[in-house]
Amino acid sequence: MQTDTTGILLTLLLISVVAVVALRRINLPAILGYLAVGVLAGPHALGLVRDIHDIHLIAEFGVVFLLFMLGLEFSLPRLVSMRRAVVGMGGAQVMLTAVITGGAALMMGFSPAAAFTLAGVMTVSSTAIVIRQLGEQLEINSRHGNNAVGILLFQDLAVIPFLIIIPVLGVQGAADDAANLTLEITFTLGAGVLAAILLFFGGRWVLRPLFREIAKSRSAELFTLAVLLTVLGAGWLTNSAGLSWELGAFLAGIALSETQYKHQIEADIRPFRDVLLGLFFITIGMMLNVGGLAEIFHWVLVFLAILILAKTLIIFLIGRAMGEAPGVALRTGLVLAQGGEFGFAMLSIANPDLMTASERQIVLATVIFSMVLTPILVKYNGLIAKYLVPGYARGRREHAVEIRQDTSDLRDHVVVCGFGRVGQNVARLLSSEGIDYTAIEVDPDIVQQANEAGLRVYFGNSTHLDILQSAGLDRARALVLTHLDDASTIKTIEIVRGTNRDIPIIVRTRTDEHLDRIHDAGATEVVASVYEMSLALGGHVLRTLRVPISKILRQMEEIRREDYAPLRHTFHGDRARDENDFAPLAPRTLKNVTLVPGAKSVGQRLGDVLPRDGSVVVDAINRHGIRGESPDEGVVLQEDDVLTLYGAPEALDMAEECLLTGRPG
């Protein structure tokens, strides 16, 4: 049995690798690949896997880790800051969709327990697919993108009560009469609240001190083991209390969400989550009976159409009721019109007797096909809105005309894209020098507040050339990009350079991860926040040590002229991250190579043994304790020289191989 299970796992993993690589080539989500693998390899298709029971038991832990990550990302301040989209639109969407779906199921003859389960399944959308697709299309920060993220966040939180109640429904004894069922649900919810309280205080009094001590040991293995123990231990506790494993994992995530170890925990647990969640989606695909699909396909198409149209209409009406423009409301509905991964989780924990096999197949196929259609709906949501909403395209043109009219008097001004904290400070400095500016911002609240203050700040996306031109780009002295989305930054620069080759473009970025790409796109100056912070701190240190201010400023200016090249040469540990924002540092790093006796490069000139394409730079040579920085290419290498090389990890490995053996790596 063990050998059979191992063979099944290896087969599934092999097929999954091929499928996911193929989907990545055409920019489709990996989830679709896992579902396709499950459908093909399952007992109803090719039959590579006959019994999915053992695999399913393992795969269910993928949902456990997914809920843990959801709890880990839970942030009350974030909920408060997005309360309009999360609580307002998200709460209304979940409530209306659940009531309408549940009511329709009751009218179709489903039991109350089955109707409640169907309501939960149809309420949620696919967070994984939607967020990825919106991010690739640079629409996360758009009006409809912000709405979609807020609604998804509420949907994810609303899953918890469904996961608590659904396992109780249909249990023999609890469902004999309404009173017993109500009592059982009340008891289960009470147990859930008690578990939440115990894990919350347990997290503060036990988990946080425990992880503090474990972190002091500086053992990566111990830290990872502690995380796994926390996830599975919390799940076991709630399962022992008659609740789901997922609830315990979610509560454990919340307990650790406000600790300083949150990001490290997330990095450690993600590989386990991704692998096990992939297996979970594979088992879901295996549950689909493709052989019997022809008999129910007409019903699947009917329910698929109803699901997409109903969710789109519900979200559209909610958006309009909350003051959104028709086009924005429709685009929000289109990107969230599908079922989601948590719907599968609800189906997997529901009592098999709630629905017939045929009904379960119809629901399963409907959700799967809706997720398959999601990339298309998200990709063309703007185009669909232009066709279905009269005046949507005209409204955007009118908005651009209004901006153009309002800025028609400006000449030699500066266009600022992004009016957050940095953008506002840049604008303040411009105003202090009597320089006019216009600003483009995607956050409507910031735009409204700025307009009330009499500032020329307009709602729009900087990747749209018509918005930039309406803000007076052709008459401007400079363009400033202050947001932190490097993909949007690069796209904006490329669009601008397609029409204006001369305007100075000054860019702010967080790290130097995409510094070269931003320069290649056509940026005039790039300011990396992490290096400017290093310069500021270093300047204060030098001033404290009484180094002349003129010398400090000269050194800083020289570093900036070299695009922070001296500051990029840093040693990175395996877990190196910037301590302030946990953004990954640049992919280039330093590496020391010692020329041991017998190294082939000993006695040769430095310039003759390393590649001349600039992929590897010799930062310094340490010879008998004397360090020489930026050595000349004519330096002859000696035994025991320690060369400090700078470059990408792969290039550094090849350079080391070349220095020691004389062969390219």
pLDDT higher than 70, residue 2: no
Count of residues in the chain: 665
Token couple for 284: 């879901």
d(CA 472, CA 468): 7
Q: Label residue 305 by pLDDT band (50, 70, 90).
A: very high
Q: What are phi and psi of 439, to 5 degrees?
A: -130, 145
Q: What are phi and psi of 79, to 5 degrees?
A: -60, -40
Distances, alpha carbon 455 to alpha carbons 368, 411, 449, in Å: 48, 16, 9
CA angle 182, 184, 186 (to 5 degrees): 65
Q: How does pLDDT run across 515-558, given as a tens digit for each residue?
A: 778 888 888 888 887 777 778 788 888 888 888 888 888 888 88
Q: Do 489 and 502 meet the contact criterion of CB atoms below 8 Å apart?
A: no
Residue whose token pair is 């779906």: 101
d(CA 54, CA 249): 21
Instruction: Assign domain 2-386 to its CATH architecture.
Output: Up-down Bundle (1.20)
CB-count burial class (<10 Å; 0-12, 13-18, 19+) for 45: middle
pLDDT of residue 429: 87
pLDDT of residue 504: 92
pLDDT of residue 288: 82
Task: Look over the chain and give the mean of its residue pLDDT values, rounded to a whole number.
Answer: 79
pLDDT of residue 179: 60
Structural domain spans, the chain: 2-386, 405-565, 589-661
* Of residues 33 and 28, more confidently modeled: 33
CB-count burial class (<10 Å; 0-12, 13-18, 19+) for 597: exposed
Q: Which amino acid is at 207?
A: L
d(CA 654, CA 50): 47
d(CA 385, CA 328): 8
* Of residues 225 and 13, more confidently modeled: 225
Q: How does pLDDT run across 558-583, given as a tens digit for each residue?
A: 877 776 767 766 655 544 444 333 33
pLDDT of residue 584: 38
Tell me which CATH code domain 589-661 carries.
3.30.70.1450
Of the CATH numbers 3.30.43.10, 3.40.50.720, 3.40.50.300, 2.60.40.420, which one belongs to the domain with range 405-565? 3.40.50.720
pLDDT of residue 255: 76
Tell me which of 68-77, 107-116, 218-227, 646-655 is least confident: 68-77
Tell me which of 214-218, 515-519, 552-556, 656-660 is least confident: 214-218
Q: Do 319 and 328 meet the contact criterion of CB atoms below 8 Å apart?
A: yes
pLDDT of residue 577: 42
d(CA 148, CA 336): 7
Distances, alpha carbon 524 to alpha carbons 116, 483, 504, 519, 593, in Å: 58, 16, 6, 7, 36
Token couple for 72: 């880990």
Tell me which of 153-157, 195-199, 515-519, 637-641 is least confident: 195-199
Q: Pick from 160-164, 320-324, 347-351, 414-418 the range whose average pLDDT is largest.
A: 414-418
E strands, 468-541, in order: 478-481, 505-509, 525-528
Portion of the chain with pLDDT greater than 90, in percent: 9
Q: What are phi and psi of 583, to 5 degrees?
A: -80, 140
